[in-house]
Amino acid sequence: MHYFISPVLWQFLVNWLTHFALFPPEASAIAPYADALYFFLILISLVGMVIVMALVGGFSILYRKDRNPEATQIEGSTLLEATWTIIPLALFMVCFVWGALLYFRIYNPPANAMNIYIVGKQWMWKAEHPGGQHEINSLHVPMGRPVQLTMISQDVFHSYSIPAFRVKREVIPGRYTTVWFTATQPGTYHLFCTQYCGTLHSQMIGEVVVMKPDDYEAWTQGSTSGMSLAQNGERLFASMGCNACHSGNAGARGPNLAEAYATRVQLTNGSYAMVDDAFLRDSILNPTMHTTAGYAPIMPTYQGQISEEGLIDLVEYIKQLKSNSRVQQTLNTSQVQSQAQSPASSQVQQTAPATPGMVKP
Amino acid sequence: MSTIVTLPDQQTASLPKRSYLNEEYGLKSWLLTGDHKRIAILYLISITFFFFIGGAMAGLIRLELLTPPTDLMAADTYNKLFTMHGIIMVFLFLVPSVPATIGNFLIPIMVGAKDLAFPKINLLSWYLYVVGGILVLAALTLGGVDTGWTFTTPLSTHYLNTHVITAGLAIFVAGFSSIFTGLNFIVTVHRMRAPGMTWFRLPLFVWSHYAASILMVLGTPVLAITLVLVILERVMGIGVFDPAKGGDPLLFQHLFWFYSHPAVYIMILPGMGVISEVISTFSRKRVFGYTAVAFSSVAIAVFGFFVWAHHMFIMGVSNYSALVFSLLTMLVAVPSAIKIFNWAATLYKGSITFETPMLYAFGFMGLFTIGGLTGVFLGSMGMDIHLTETYFIVAHFHFVMVGGMLMAFLAGIHFWWPKMTGRMYPEGLSKLAALTTFIGFNLTFFPQFILGYLGMPRRYAAYPPEFQVLNVLSTAGATVLGVGYLLPMLYLVWSLKYGKIAGANPWQATGLEWQIQSPPLTENFVETPVVDYEAYDYEWLANKTKHEVQTVG
């Protein structure tokens, strides 16, 4: 064959036709489960197709006009109707149960998963590791460890898709969504934004790098920014003046935040809420949404004052806050500092602590 | 035995002197007509126009995807193309395709009435469609829209400077056109059936249109108000969908899909009606399990309203509500399966011939089965996570909408062409077109299933190089498909003048529409018909023909 066409073209064709994908790599613990369901669904479809084609094709041959000039009128058959209602229904129910099991498996993370934050914006993916590693359009994860992604968008809907892991989740403005996976194969895989998000939607892509634990350690050491998310959060906590009310002192105007994460708190309206990432985020941006019982709804909103990354830093800080000693330390430091810098402003701060909005009724 | 006027069959046929086509002449007689048949023709011309615009866009999209990078056009242009392709094909072609053309033409005749219940509202609905169409063309020529046909907020409300408001208004207006059509059908079927035409003597075509009409009337207003909210949010910033103002962008998804999932059934149900008629006629046998097919249409319409959140499995809806919607999605798949099996069983012991409409109907059955079964993939929650928002979705809904609905539309157009125009289409050429369409369709869309499982996202102007081979196959198929759609356009126009004269009942079919002259009189029936036989009663037809031969000869 290749004697007849140009060798360059031949080489190109061979390259092109041998280097194309037909099936995505299986690189996560969930992928084999997803593929098993996929093959089951293909099997059902093939059986269904073959039956329909056999019926249509077979009857077309058997009962074509040449062979069967006179049609026999048949009204119907309740038994047959029941058959082709119940059998497909039963098969579809199997698909439903199987699919539901897989869904719950993909979307319910194990308790020991390490957490990485993802912020989507037009048109890039930012990854924030708790250790202070920041990445754009890439994600480094260790092999063999469950990883949970807590994701939020700062503008429009995006969707975080890693086909090799068979996982995907919408990244939505205004609320955290999560997805988790355990990578099983070292390598570099596609990361796509699959929700149409404007002009450069098709450029909102990146790579997921799965590394062996040692390599991952090396990478973590080599690419840290020097400040963990919690440390950033602590700074922000002090600079926004959060510590003025959330000091942890008896009689403080805000609830004590030490060890508050992952507990249940009672709200003013009597109901209980779980303190999770979403609860903390909402409490910062929209404090009246859930006011803790026993506290006046005096906290001002921080809507528009803190970026999504800043919120993540704060959440990460509060998550790790075990005692109030450092809160009080920074409280003292900030008061000492401001007193030293300008006595006038410290007076203001004493009468109207932190942000001016806080004294409004 | 019957008061229906009968005319000689095809061999001795001549065109009737008087018909709805030559009752009046001049543009005004068409633009101000109240005749449902003329309005159907107006609709046919307008939807064909928009189909070819939308089709040209599809061609450009496939051309861009021939190579991995964005090289033929800018990313923005590509985004506008797929948005306009979606808007035009869904709202200006698929939704009105069968109901507003074939349905408009046939529903009154099939129930034995002189016209639809509200002829002027019928004309108004065409004008609304035209206004919607002009607004879409305006949005297109002013610079286009790039929201995607789904108008996802907050992208559509806060982040784009294109003509979202014009396009939103266009769909709002066109939506009322479809509400009025649905209303007209419902009232006509309830109030205007001829004496003896009981509900269970109605052709299945009427049943499926009735079910689709309920969806149109109940679903479309939700879309209309959703688009109004999007427009108000853009103009006044009311913030219903804006999280910064306490709104919820997911609410938009709920509202949009509350219409747009039933819309899928608005599109496919009338097509299913066509298939019932065609399969029965060309196997010369009553439809197997008439009541099962009739009620499965109604079941689809009812269940169709309660599955919308299956478009949102990955969007952070609660896991348990996803569970309920997945279950209901599986249930809605069952009536479609019932229909497919009943059509297949109709062939059993029939006397089958393979005219063009039958070939299209077979194409429908095959492609719709694949489209439906891949819908089960997507309804299965865990699988949906990997497949949604990829080319698998694109392939799935094109199998249902293009492979299913467009095949049904073409089956219907060929089947009733002799009734609408009085002339036959060229049989050989049309069989070639049916085959070309089938091959081209599979080549275009089957590779997209594989691309989807590989993870290629939809709405991408550029893609990784290892996806190229499958994309090239798809583009090649689109070329073949294009030829398959151009052919009927050409030979059907040709047949208007040169086609063989059809006669009243060229297919020897049983429907009331085949017992009157082709093309019909403006008033359809000379005398109100009295119906004393069930739908698809070929023995009645044989007796009638025998009776005529005896009286004539």
- Residue B372's contacts (CB-CB under 8 Å, 6 or more residues apart) are B333, B336, B337, B340, B400
Is residue B25 domain-resident? Answer: no
We report the CATH number of the domain holding residue B413 as: 1.20.210.10
User: How far does the CA of residue B472 sit from the closest CA of chain A (Å)?
Assistant: 11
User: How far does the CA of residue B78 sit from the closest CA of chain A (Å)?
Assistant: 9
Q: What is the pLDDT of residue A334?
A: 54
pLDDT at B314 over 80: yes
Q: Does B249 sit within 8 Å of A60, measured CB to CB?
A: no
Q: How far apart are CA A86 and CA A24, in angstroms?
A: 35
Residue B494: count other Cβ atoms within 10 Å of its Cβ.
Answer: 14
The candidate with the shortest Cα–Cα distance to B415, out of B111, B197, B205, is: B205
pLDDT category, B105, cuts 50, 70, 90?
A: very high
Mean pLDDT for B365-375 is: 95
DSSP string, A246-280: -S--TT-SS---TT-TT-EEEBTTS-EEE--HHHH
pLDDT category, B12, cuts 50, 70, 90?
A: low
- Residue B124's contacts (CB-CB under 8 Å, 6 or more residues apart) are B180
Specify the higher pLDDT residue, A16 or A349: A16
- Residue B243's contacts (CB-CB under 8 Å, 6 or more residues apart) are A173, A174, A175, B154, B249
Cα distance from N-terminal residue to C-terminal residue, chain A: 86
Q: Does B289 sit within 8 Å of A77, measured CB to CB?
A: yes
Residue B253: count other Cβ atoms within 10 Å of its Cβ.
Answer: 25
Q: How far apart are CA B517 and CA B526, in angstroms?
A: 10
Q: What is the pLDDT of residue B88?
A: 96
Identify whether the C-beta of residue A27 lies closer than 8 Å to the C-beta of residue A165: yes
Q: Does B369 sit within 8 Å of A49, measured CB to CB?
A: yes
> Which element (helix H / strand E) includes A189?
strand A187-193
User: Tokens standing for B2?
Assistant: 């019957």
Mean pLDDT for B98-107 is: 96
Nearest-by-Cβ selection for A63 from B347, B381, B388: B347
Q: How far apart are CA A262 and CA A277, in angstroms?
A: 9
Q: Mean pLDDT, chain A, as a whole number?
A: 86
Compute CA distances B541 → A68, B126, B282, B366, whole Å: 19, 36, 14, 30
Q: What is the pLDDT of residue A345?
A: 43
Burial status of residue A250 (CB atoms within 10 A of its CB: 0-12, 13-18, 19 or more): exposed
pLDDT category, B253, cuts 50, 70, 90?
A: very high
DSSP string, A123-150: TEEEEE-TTSBEEESEEEEETTSEEEEE
Domain span at residue B418? 32-552
Amino acid present at B213: S
Strands A205-211 and A187-193: antiparallel
Q: What is the pLDDT of residue B486?
A: 95
User: How far does the CA of residue B217 sit from the closest CA of chain A (Å)?
Assistant: 29
pLDDT at B118 over 90: yes
Is residue B7 domain-resident? Answer: no
**Sign of torsion, CA B105 B110 B114 B120?**
negative
Q: How far apart are CA B354 and CA B274, in angstroms?
A: 16
Mean pLDDT for A100-123 is: 93
Nearest-by-Cβ selection for B75 from A34, A38, A199: A199
User: How far does the CA of residue B448 sit from the closest CA of chain A (Å)?
Assistant: 11
* Helix B427-454 vs helix B356-379: crossing angle, to nearest 10: 10
Tell me what ipTM this predicted complex has. Answer: 0.92
> Which element (helix H / strand E) includes B189?
helix B164-191
Q: What is the pLDDT of residue A361?
A: 35
Q: Does B334 sit within 8 Å of A89, measured CB to CB?
A: yes
Nearest-by-Cβ selection for B466 from A20, A38, A100: A20
Amino acid present at B236: M
Q: How far apart are CA A284 and CA B41, in angstroms?
A: 61
Chain B: residue nearest A166 by CA?
Answer: B386
Window from A179-183, B289-293, B415-419, B538-542 with minimum mean pLDDT: B538-542
pLDDT at B376 over 90: yes
Strand, helix or coil at B161? coil
Q: Mean pLDDT, chain B, as a whole number?
A: 92
Q: How far apart are CA A174 and CA A172, in angstroms?
A: 6
How confident is the model over B378-428, as pLDDT tens digits? Answer: 999 999 999 999 999 999 999 999 999 999 999 999 999 999 999 999 999
pLDDT at A335 over 70: no
pLDDT at B279 over 60: yes
User: Tokens standing for B193?
Assistant: 């059936």
DSSP state of A169: E
Q: Which residues of chain A have a CB within 8 Å of the CB of B291? A: 76
How confident is the model over B34-45, as pLDDT tens digits? Answer: 999 999 999 999
Residue B471: count other Cβ atoms within 10 Å of its Cβ.
Answer: 22
The candidate with the shortest Cα–Cα distance to B285, out of B482, B110, B509, B481, is: B509
Is residue B238 domain-resident? Answer: yes
Is residue B390 domain-resident? Answer: yes
DSSP state of B355: -
Q: How far apart are CA B482 and CA B466, in angstroms?
A: 26
User: How many CA atoms, within 13 angstroms, populate the side-chain half-sphere of residue B347?
Assistant: 27
Q: How far apart are CA A297 and CA A301, in angstroms?
A: 11
Q: Which domains, ranges and CATH numbers included, belong to chain A?
A: 24-64+77-225 (2.60.40.420), 229-349 (1.10.760.10)
Give pTM, 2 decimals. 0.90
DSSP state of A277: H
Chain A: residue nearest B328 by CA?
Answer: A96
User: Tokens standing for A308?
Assistant: 């999504």
Q: What is the pLDDT of residue B552?
A: 46
Is residue B365 domain-resident? Answer: yes
Chain B: residue nearest A106 by CA?
Answer: B382
Compute CA distances A122 → B82, B161, B429, whole Å: 19, 15, 50
Specify the higher pLDDT residue, B199 or A297: B199
How confident is the model over B165-185, as pLDDT tens digits? Answer: 999 999 999 999 999 999 999
Mean pLDDT for B110-121 is: 95
Chain A: residue nearest B82 by CA?
Answer: A196
Q: Could you tell me what percent of chain B has a pLDDT over 70?
A: 97
Q: How far apart are CA A191 and CA B467, in angstroms?
A: 15
DSSP state of A287: G
User: Tokens standing for B365?
Assistant: 């059955």
Q: How far apart are CA B414 and CA B463, in angstroms?
A: 39
Window from A11-20, A31-40, B183-192, B310-319 with minimum mean pLDDT: A11-20
User: How far does the CA of residue B159 sit from the closest CA of chain A (Å)?
Assistant: 8
Mean pLDDT for A307-320 is: 90
Mean pLDDT for B56-74 is: 94
pLDDT category, B550, cuts 50, 70, 90?
A: low
Q: Does B466 sit within 8 Å of A24, measured CB to CB?
A: no
Residue A141 backbone dihedrals phi, psi, to 5 degrees: -135, 150
The candidate with the shortest Cα–Cα distance to A358, out of A302, A279, A306, A282, is: A302
> Which element (helix H / strand E) includes B497?
helix B468-498
Domain count, chain B: 1
Instruction: Return the residue matching tokens 């309740």.
Output: A78
User: Tokens standing for B453?
Assistant: 């499982």
Q: Which residues of chain A have a CB within 8 Å of the CB of B326? A: 96, 99-100, 103
How confident is the model over A23-67, as pLDDT tens digits? Answer: 999 999 999 999 999 999 999 999 999 999 999 999 999 999 999
How confident is the model over B442-491, as pLDDT tens digits? Answer: 999 999 999 999 999 999 999 999 899 999 999 999 999 999 999 999 99
Mean pLDDT for A329-336 is: 59
Strand, helix or coil at A83? helix
Burial status of residue B83 (CB atoms within 10 A of its CB: 0-12, 13-18, 19 or more): buried
Q: Does A23 sit within 8 Å of B347, measured CB to CB?
A: no
User: Tokens standing for B469?
Assistant: 């081979």
Nearest-by-Cβ selection for B334 from A19, A88, A286: A88
pLDDT at A301 over 90: no
User: How far does the CA of residue B399 sit from the closest CA of chain A (Å)?
Assistant: 14
Q: Does A16 sit within 8 Å of B70, measured CB to CB?
A: no
Is residue B440 domain-resident? Answer: yes
Nearest-by-Cβ selection for B344 from A52, A76, A195: A52
The candidate with the shortest Cα–Cα distance to A188, out of A208, A205, A217, is: A208
- Residue A238's contacts (CB-CB under 8 Å, 6 or more residues apart) are A330, A331, A333, A334
B381, B387, B463: which to substitute to probe chain A, counting the most A Cβ within 10 Å? B381
Q: What is the pLDDT of residue B431?
A: 96
Amino acid present at A143: M
